[in-house]
Amino acid sequence: MINGEKIVDQPIRWAMIGGGRGSQIGYIHRSAALRDANFELVAGAFDVDPERGKDFGINCHVDPDRCYPDYKTLIEEEAKRPDGVQAVSIATPNFTHFEIAKAALEAGLHVYCEKPLCFTTEEAEELEALVKKTGKVMFISYGYCGHQMIEQARQMIARGDLGKIRIVNMQFAHGAHNVAVEKKSGSTAWRVDPKKAGPAYVLGDVGTHMVYLSEAMMPDMNIKRLMCSKQSFVEGRQLEDNAMTIMEYDNGAVGYIWSSCVNAGSEFGARFRIVGEKASIAWDVEHPNQLAYEVQGKPQSVMQRGAGYLYPEAVADDRIGGGHPEGLFESWSNLYTRFAKAIDKNEKGEEIDFWYPDIHAGVLGVKWVEKCAQSGDQGGAWIDF
Ligand code: NAD
């Protein structure tokens, strides 16, 4: 159980790049990192607009001298200080991740980077090599995998409660961009611009979350090949706003991921069903405290977060016991707790003996997007993974 007692000797000196005023995802990074006092926000280059970024940083109690105009100045100036930052989180649009992550790792910082990690597998592998070379901790921001019921699912699958896995049926299909909202929203405009979003829109923006959830729950299953059909339904979009991907795994299982932003009427539409030879589990991001467990020939059951019958690995991340709902903020806080623990162990030269969305998760997501785009461009051809 997590109760806020310290897990690191001193709060980790932490900075944010991006995630400033008006950004979609900045606040949850801060609230998750600062939740258990494992991190202290001491510096930032919060905004593409330096003045607005500085004003924002000051409003977050950051020393004005440590609110920098850009990431390069942040890295350079912080390196000169005896109390310079130890870790950074990158919450900027996709096209900036590679260069910022590379610079931060080269400067000897631990990195928590937004997804998708970068544009190409080649770049992702370059970052992977850099993580290996520098020995620093790199987290990829797959925020849903910190939910307790994801850990419960992972443990159930590992223990054989479902039997051999046959079908992985997933979707992240919301309806928020069923019309050209990019004409009015800056946050959506860069997402549909190939120069800023990369080779794909929804595949990278939402599909990668499901790819990583499948990896988190079934780390022993590897995608063997995939095929993808993608469409741009809203006029003027160069990148796909809908995609359907079928995957075959090396253990004989088959998987499906529907990635979409044009699923009109759907608030979020992120859910999965994993089918084994004797039972299935199902989970919905909008109801993260419940995991359906359905054994063939028995009454259906719904497992509840915080309950005593969950596996101990799942209960370890509990914060308030059963009954009261936990949600996205707790999932992210659990992940930032793991980031802090990993940094602490790394700096003490100890082995990191728990799983987290590491650089391999970043490479996997980028490769998946790249292969899906390739398949889609070839009219849904099967592509080896
Ligand atoms: P956004 O456009 O809403 O905000 C981007 C922020 O970054 C703004 O504050 C902007 O001023 C700042 N910025 C842009 N370029 C910068 C630079 N070079 N240096 C410093 N700051 C800069 O974008 P968003 O929706 O918050 O998305 C940011 C990233 O987070 C994207 O990669 C996106 O895919 C990811 N994201 C992840 C999740 C998740 O669940 N993990 C959810 C939403 C977004």
Amino acid 97: pLDDT: 98
For residue 181, the model assigns a pLDDT of 96
362-374 residue pLDDT tens: 999 999 999 999 9
Positions of the chain with pLDDT under 70: none
pLDDT over 90 for what percent of the chain? 100
CATH number at residue 74: 3.40.50.720
Domain count, the chain: 2
CB atoms within 10 A of CB 148: 27
Strands 242-249 and 254-260, by their bridges, are antiparallel
Query: What pLDDT does residue 153 have?
Result: 98
Pocket test for ligand 1, best of 21, 47, 92 (most atoms within 8 A of CB): 92
Q: Looking at the domain assignment, is residue 154 inside a domain?
A: yes
Pocket probe for ligand 1: among 88, 102, 114, the residue whose CB has the most ligand atoms within 8 Å is 114
Domain identity same for 230 and 346: no
3-class state of residue 198 by DSSP: coil
Query: Do 351 and 373 lie in a common domain?
Result: no
Residue 27's domain comprises 12-144+338-358
The residue whose two tokens read 């899906």 is 372
Verify that 83 and 198 share a domain, yes or no: no
Query: Is residue 297 exposed (0-12), middle (13-18) or buried (19+ Cβ within 10 Å)?
Result: exposed
Q: Does ligand 1 have an atom closer than 6 angstroms to the CB of 187?
A: yes
- 187 C-alpha to ligand 1 centroid (Å): 8
Q: Could you tell me if the CB of 17 is within 6 A of ligand 1?
A: yes
Rounded to whole angstroms, the Cα distance separating 174 from 264 reads: 7
Distance (angstroms) between ligand 1 centre and the Cα of 237 equals 20
Residues 140 and 151 in one domain: no
Let me know if residue 45 belongs to a domain: yes
Distance 25 CA to ligand 1 centre (A): 6
The predicted pLDDT at position 234 comes to 98
Q: Does the beta carbon of 93 lie inside 6 Å of ligand 1?
A: yes
Residues 197 and 79 in one domain: no
Round to whole Å and give the CA distance between 41 and 32. 12
- Residue 26 CA, closest ligand 1 atom number: 26
CA distance 36 to 25: 19
88 plus 59 within the same structural domain: yes
DSSP sequence for 218-287? -TT--EEEEEEEEE--STT-SS-SEEEEEEEETTS-EEEEEEES--TT-S--EEEEEEESSEEEEEETTS
191 part of a folded domain:
yes
d(CA 276, CA 108): 43
pTM (2 d.p.): 0.97
User: Is residue 11 within 6 Å of ligand 1 at its C-beta?
Assistant: no
The CA distance from 122 to 173, in Å, is: 28
| Residue 41 exposure: Cα atoms within 13 Å on the Cβ side | 26
Residues 17 and 29 in one domain: yes
Is residue 333 domain-resident?
no
Q: With DSSP H G I counted as helix, E B as strand and the rest as coil, what are the percentages for the chain, rounded to 5?
A: 40, 20, 40
R_g of the chain computed on alpha carbons? 21
Do residues 266 and 304 share a domain?
A: yes
Q: How far apart, in Å, are the Cα atoms of 355 and each of 138, 313, 320, 348, 352?
A: 12, 11, 23, 18, 8
Q: Is the CB of 89 under 6 A from ligand 1?
A: no
Task: Report CA(93)–ligand 1 centroid distance (Å).
Answer: 4
User: Residue 286 maps to which CATH number?
Assistant: 3.30.360.10
CA of 221 to the centre of ligand 1 (A): 31
pLDDT of residue 146: 98
The answer, yes or no, to whether any atom of ligand 1 lies below 6 A from the CB of 333, is no
Structure tokens at 361: 């998760």
pLDDT digits (tens, 9 = 90+) for 291-349: 999 999 999 999 999 999 999 999 999 999 999 999 999 999 999 999 999 999 999 99
pLDDT of residue 259: 98
Ligand 1 site-directed mutation target among 16, 21, 23, most atoms within 8 Å of CB: 23
pLDDT at 55: 98
